[in-house]
Amino acid sequence: MRYTLFSLFCTIFLSATPILKPIESIEINGTVKDMVLRENLLVIATDMGHIEIKDIEGNQSIKNISIPNVKDFMGDEIPARVMSTDKIDNKYLLLSDSGKNGYSNLYIYDKNLTKILSAKDKKAIIKARFIDKEHILLGYLSNEVSLLDLNSKKESYKVQLSESKFSDFALNEDKSEVVFSCESGILNIVDVKTGKILKKLKSQNVDNVYRVDFKNKIVSGAGQDRRGSIYDVRTGKGSYISGDFLIYSTALSPTASKVAFAMDEQNNISIYNSSTKSKIALLKGQKSTLNVIIFQDENRIFSASDDSTILVWDLKQK
């Protein structure tokens, strides 16, 4: 009798959190390395030497933009991985880490493909995003932040944030501030215009923070220490949600009222109320390690893993 009551209690408890399946999938040619949503266009960086632009409203491909192949250690030509991408107006950014000796190649596509930085510049850049049409924010492997002027092709500043290895960065809505994460677990809030560190967010993660997001003065961090951290940038105070496995990815909804974390070994995505930390939904269907999670609005979500399928979710689905 006791066992029956306990089993019934567990069933009721577990069923209190809705388990949702993807409402659709988007297939691409290659493995997703990065992804951004700009207006109604999903811009996807792949390991097959190109980015793919998808119209999410019409559910159709707009265009593919490729960068030149590179040679492997055997001298054979192979596709160059595009590790970071972005879009502003009709300009596209493509950052590859496949340059000679592991240095980065940075391209801008605006009707034609133009190489902005090459391996000769000897820059180990991991992530890049447009600030405006003339400036790109760069995140270096060495955990340096810099602002590149596209007109002069020179950096307005280059600031070392710490001695720890860089992991990720995320801009706020107006691109005036950015949060940088690294292997130390400390998150740095940086002024984009000057490179000055405005605030350090710490104590909620004690190891590498793989991914971060920054919405409505709230920052979330996906930690190697199995902690999903949430900080209020205004006060610097934070808390965390414990996971069952390394947390590889995170995202905040536009109002930051919801937060997503990849919390378990099955690559499920857990959705929480950011304030109460109560679980809202569990998204099941991801097949491999999560790279990117994006909220389009408060209920529609896109997620990408180390494979060729992007999944679309709706938190309102029955």
**pLDDT tens per residue, range 216-225:** 999 999 999 9
Work out whether strand 279-283 and strand 19-20 pair parallel, antiparallel, or are unpaired.
Answer: parallel
The DSSP code sequence of 269-317 is EEEEETTT--EEEEE----S-EEEEEESSSSEEEEEESSSEEEEEETT-
pLDDT of residue 101: 80
| Half-sphere exposure in the Cβ direction for 265 (13 Å, CA) | 2
Q: Taking a C-beta distance cutoff of 8 angstroms, is the pair 256, 297 a contact?
A: no
Q: How confident is the model at residue 16 (pLDDT cuts 50, 70, 90)?
A: confident
Please report, for residues 54, 225, 287, the alpha-carbon distance to residue 37 in angstroms, rounded to integers and kept in the order given: 10, 29, 22
105 phi and psi angles, rounded to 5 deg: -115, 130
- Contact present, 23 and 30 (Cβ < 8 Å): no
Note the pLDDT of residue 8.
45
Q: How confident is the model at residue 72 (pLDDT cuts 50, 70, 90)?
A: confident
Cα(103)–Cα(298) distance, integer angstroms? 38
Class of domain 19-314 as given by CATH: mainly beta
- pLDDT given for residue 4 in this prediction: 52
- Give the pLDDT of residue 254: 98
pLDDT of residue 175: 98
**What whole-number distance in Å separates Cα of residue 317 and Cα of residue 284?**
13
Nearest to 303 by CA among 289, 311, 295: 311
DSSP state of 243: -
* Percentage of the residues of the chain whose pLDDT score is greater than 70: 95
d(CA 136, CA 291): 22
Rounded to whole angstroms, the Cα distance separating 176 from 156 reads 15
- Over residues 234-244, the pLDDT tens digits come to 999 999 999 99
Q: What is the per-residue pLDDT for 11? A: 45
Q: Please count the other Cβ atoms lying within 10 Å of the Cβ belonging to residue 214.
A: 22
- Distance (Å, whole) CA 70 – CA 237: 46
Longest Cα–Cα distance of the chain, Å, equals: 77
Place of tokens 């909220």: 295
Whether 53 has a pLDDT exceeding 50, the answer reads yes
Query: 155 near 148, Cβ under 8 Å?
Result: yes
The per-residue DSSP string of 151-208 comes to: TTTEEEEEEE--SSPEEEEEE-TTSSEEEEEETTS-EEEEETTT--EEEEE-SS-SS-
The whole-number average pLDDT for the span 203-212 is 97
pLDDT of the residue at 318 = 59
Residue 102 main-chain phi, psi, to 5 deg: 85, 5
Tokens of 123: 């820059």
DSSP 104: -
